[in-house]
Structure 1
Amino acid sequence: MTGRAPDNGGNKQETDSAIWDRYTEGKYKDFNLDKQGEGSFWAGVPNPDEPDAAKAQSCTELPFWVKNGEQPDVENAISPKILSALAYERIQVPGTEVELNPKDRQTVNLPTWVWLDKGTYRPLSVTASVDLGGGVEISATTTVKPKSLALSAGTEDARLHPGSGECPVSEDGGIGSPYEKGSGKKTPPCGVTYLRATQDGGGYPLKATLTWDASWEGTGGAGDDDLPDGRFGNTQNVTVQEIQSVN
């Protein structure tokens, strides 16, 4: 913080010279050089990812001194809660790709089993931390995990399983169940039964939307589940055939 006067940003009630005096002769005499190692200057930093330009530029807090290990008592100062949101933004979940059985072509009145690969769709975590000086660090770990899978058959001529179309996470952490030989007439825990064949080479747009539940834990026992759920969907065309039988 040497070489030029600090930008007064939105503090237009103060002149540049008055601000300069604050850091040279006033509150922070000679930029607190005699307190090196005891603390550091903190300053407001606009979020470069904030789409609202006015909101991004509203961060005009002038640099202020904070002793090592102390948590600044100002609005939006870095805290475990803010770190949890930063970690949340960095989590990358896989695209929603469901497994189907039958895989390539569905049959009228024959249940289609739908499930997610447990190895791919598992809890994911990201940790964000900041050093407050003096050996004190605050951090937050945000975790997201699959919560439920919502199905939309793409046609009214279909039955969803379960009837709500919302497939919850099972006790083993999976959603839906892979088809097993001999289960053709069983009702799948997650799936759809088409009642009418597709026409003219077209397909039904089967949409699957996976909801990820988010929570976080931070320094000092902080934590909550107040982060928004994430919802990611994908649509794939399915072809349904009608098998003719002769009695």
Structure 2
Amino acid sequence: MADHEGHAARRPGLLTRRAAVALAASLTVLALPGLARADDDPVVGGDCASLSQFVTACAQTPPTSGGDTQATSSSGAGGSGEARKPAPKCKIEKIEPPPPAIHLGWKGHKPGDGAVYRIFCPETFRVGTFWAPDEPEAELVDPAVLAQQAVDRMKLTGPDIIISPRPGGRGLVGMPVWLAAGQSPTTYGPTSASASAGGVTVNVSAEVSRIVWDMGDGTTVTCEGPGKPYKKAYGLARSQCGHVYTRPSPSPDGFSVTATATWDVDWEVTGPGGASGELDQVRQSQVAVNVVESQAVNS
């Protein structure tokens, strides 16, 4: 049984990913279509808060997750009470003389049909060009900063750990350990959010691409999907997202198991100086698993 059954293939890489800039010039603010949730229940309500007098971000508010899970701790970024500064600006200037017709900045348009502009964002060191039918303002809000602010509003957390044997119980040396992660908007995704400022709107979507399990005995297990929770019907079968301990835990506290999730985040901006890009977010959760030697029974 494949643990990643039904799970889309993910992009490789943990901390280094491309940052693609696709510059456009539409002044129309578009809404991305809703992303499919891991379960069939709709999200009710929303979380809309002013990040500053210049920036507004809105994120889905997921329902309180239930289920038989055993995550004992989680760490993540973001918080509704954090004070924020106004989003930094990017400098915009018209390219004079106009670039030749073969320049990619024209985006299929011909010289004389609008113009090509240069954009420089000192806060994030973004440099590029874009076409616009009309001359934009000399300064625009940095979309990369808005993207990060939208990510902060998502309140992404570490994995919702589902492990067998369960924390508080006992596992045996040589017996399979099953590893899985619960799939909710904040612990696995998919989830989405947006941030707006100065006529620029950034739409952001996020989902976990992989989880690296540090088993506490010097070994790690990398799972591209969420894994499958153990069921009695599986018997002594091994999980593709699993582990087998070859020695007992050194203390009654057990082995400390750390699950590190990498969130793939895609962002796209609509409005003048539009761009798109990708970034990674990393979150962790921990549990303890007690593993003992099996004891022979004397007849």
Query: How high is the TM-score relative to the length of structure 2?
Result: 0.49
Secondary structure, aligned partner of 1:114: strand
CA distance in 2, matches of 1:48, 1:139: 17
Secondary structure, aligned partner of 1:182: helix
CA distance in 1, matches of 2:182, 2:259: 14
Structure number with higher helix proportion: 1
Structure 2: gaps spanning 5 or more residues: 1-53, 55-83, 88-121, 124-133
CA distance in 1, matches of 2:135, 2:235: 64
Give, in angstroms, the shift of residue 218 of structure 1.
Answer: 2.1
Contact 1:98 1:115 in 2 (8 A): yes
Contact 1:215 1:223 in 2 (8 A): no
Structure 1: gaps spanning 5 or more residues: 1-42, 51-57, 60-68, 133-137, 170-174
Aligned to 1:149: 211
Give, in angstroms, the shift of residue 88 of structure 1.
Answer: 2.3
Q: Tell me, yes or no, if structure 1 residue 167 matches structure 2 residue 206.
A: no
Q: Tell me, yes or no, if structure 1 residue 110 matches structure 2 residue 168.
A: no
Secondary structure, aligned partner of 1:197: coil
Give, in angstroms, the shift of residue 141 of structure 1.
Answer: 0.8
Give, in angstroms, the shift of residue 246 of structure 1.
Answer: 5.2
Greater RCO, 1 or 2 (C-alpha within 8 Å, sep 6+): 2
Tell me: CA distance 1:187–1:141, structure 2 relative to 1, closer, same or farther (3 Å).
same
Larger CA Rg, structure 1 vs 2: 1
Deviation per residue, 1:37-72 (Å, 9 max, x gap) = xxxxxx9xxx6399xxxxxxx99xxxxxxxxx9632
Secondary structure, aligned partner of 2:289: strand
Q: Tell me, yes or no, if structure 1 residue 130 matches structure 2 residue 192.
A: no
CA distance in 1, matches of 2:190, 2:275: 17
- State which of 225, 228, 233 in structure 2 corresponds to 1:182: 233
Aligned to 2:138: 73
Give, in angstroms, the shift of residue 80 of structure 1.
Answer: 4.0
Give, in angstroms, the shift of residue 118 of structure 1.
Answer: 1.7
The one-letter amino acid of 2:262's match is T
The one-letter amino acid of 2:188's match is Y
Tell me: CA distance 1:81–1:72, structure 2 relative to 1, closer, same or farther (3 Å).
farther
Number of residue pairs aligned between Structure 1 and Structure 2: 167
Give, in angstroms, the shift of residue 202 of structure 1.
Answer: 3.5
- State which of 150, 168, 188 in structure 2 corresponds to 1:121: 188
Q: Tell me, yes or no, if structure 1 residue 225 matches structure 2 residue 268.
A: no
Aligned to 2:246: 195
- State which of 215, 221, 234 in structure 1 corresponds to 2:285: 234
Identity among equivalent pairs (%):
28
